Amino acid sequence: MDLNESLKNRGITGIMIMLLVLAALIFTGFFRTNKQSVGKDRGEISDSVRHSQTNPISKDKAMKYNELSPDEARVILNKGTERPFSGKYDKFYEKGTYICRRCNAPLYRSQDKFDGHCGWPSFDDEIPGAVKRNVDADGSRTEILCANCSAHLGHIFTGEGFTEKNTRHCVNSISMVFAPAGTTLPAIMGASQETPVKTEKAYFAGGCFWGVEYYMQKADGVISTTVGYMGGHTQNPTYKQVCTGKTGHAETMEVVFDPSKTNYETLARLFFELHDPTQVNRQGPDVGDQYRSAVFYVNENQKQVTQKLIGLLKDKGLNVATEVAAAGAFWKAEDYHQDYYDNNGHTPYCHGYTKRF
């Protein structure tokens, strides 16, 4: 190797080392940290940022996340923005859950998605606790990030009047992965040990499960609802089989809730007020024991709360017919029954809110 060539090689090695150092700095959030401290000096930092600073980004190094492509990293780690109308979920309205590309945490539900005509997926609500907010360093916009891994999602806007909630989460498609309804979601990666997501399940049957789900999924603290069958003896029943009345199953709704935001009694009270618990083996026009009123409890507390509430209703003169039984296997219903009213734009025909307590 002659001298000239050796010098040239050394020059290339030097450039490569510089590029590696630069990549490492971007990856560890070096630039982001500087940007945040600028905002802080100017007194523009939000509560959510203060909170996130107690959980510094450098901690991410110990956590393992999905590997990102260069395009994904540009948006997710370096707060870039994909070109409008280019993302795969812009005009996409399948039923399911949108999870974080980086850590798999569930972020948005399809029923909260709407067409914002802006070129990016728009949602008017997030899955409770899934998204944190951060006022941009220039103080003009509010960034939204995955609450679990701080992946950049996009920005949030209010007061535009698109939907009743008057809120638009403008999210980069590339920051998310869509999981169709009914699929098992992958495990969340790098979930913080300090804030484990504790959830509790409850099972209610009160006539046609479409109506019970319609009201229950709108309650505060509810993370998800699924309709299915419980209380019978047939394995993996179909809707058709349940409608024959021979399976013993009741049309049942599974609700997953966040006990730090609501509690079982609140949901059980709602259940007794969204259907008529005095009807026997029917609910409104729907007749048959699959439409019976039932509470399937998963622990002693749920059982006691249910019995207490039934006692209160009986004291008010209501002849409550609700069955109280230990939860058995829950058989998820066919996909077309899930989120039925939200998907079809109708409202329940035999459920409505009646104050009873």
Known catalytic residues are 170, 208
Q: Is residue 75 near Zn ion by the rule CB under 5 A?
A: no
Return the number of the residue (97 or 247) whose C-beta is nearest Zn ion: 97
Least Cβ distance, residue 342 to Zn ion (angstroms):
25
- Comparison of 156 and 310: residue with beta carbon closer to Zn ion: 156
State the minimum distance, in angstroms, from the CB of residue 81 to Zn ion: 18
Contact code string over 105-144 relative to Zn ion, x by CB under 5 A: x---------------------------------------
Query: Least distance (Å) from Zn ion to the CB of residue 152?
Result: 10
Nearer to Zn ion, 101 or 201 (CB): 101
Minimal distance, residue 224 CB to Zn ion, in Å? 18
Shortest CB 129 distance to Zn ion, Å = 12
Structure tokens at 223: 């993370």
Provide, rounded to whole angstroms, the least separation between the CB of residue 104 and Zn ion. Answer: 7
Q: How far apart are CA 122 and CA 104, in angstroms?
A: 19
Task: Tell which positions 81-110 bind Zn ion, by CB under 5 A.
Answer: 100, 102-103, 105
Amino acid 220 reads D
Secondary structure, 3-state, the chain: CCHHHHHHHHHHHHHHHHHHHHHHHHHCCHHHHHHHHHHHHCCCCCHHHHHHHCCCHHHHHHCCCCCCCHHHHHHHCCCCCCCCCCCCCCCCCCCEEEEECCCCCEEEEHHHEECCCCCCCEECCCCCCCEEEEECCCCCCEEEEECCCCCEEEEEEECCCCCCCCEEEEECHHHEEEEECCCCCCCCCCCCCCCCCCCEEEEEEECCHHHHHHHHCCCCCEEEEEEEEECCCCCCCCHHHHHCCCCCCEEEEEEEECCCCCCHHHHHHHHHHHCCCCCCCEECCEECHHHCEEEEECCHHHHHHHHHHHHHHHHCCCCCCCEEEECCCCEECCHHHCCHHHHHCCCCCCCCCCCCC
Q: Which is nearer to Zn ion, 148 or 173 (CB)?
A: 148
For residue 149, state whether it binds Zn ion (rule: CB under 5 A).
Answer: yes
Cβ nearer to Zn ion, comparing 27 with 239: 27
CB 272 within 8 A of CB 356: yes
- Asked whether position 151 contacts Zn ion by CB under 5 A, the answer is yes
Q: Which of 52, 97, 148, 173 binds Zn ion (CB under 5 A)?
A: 148
Of 45, 77, 144, 146, the residue at the interface with Zn ion (CB under 5 A) is 146
Pick 68 or 305: Cβ nearer Zn ion: 68
Give me the residues that bind Zn ion (CB under 5 A), please.
Answer: 100, 102-103, 105, 146, 148-149, 151
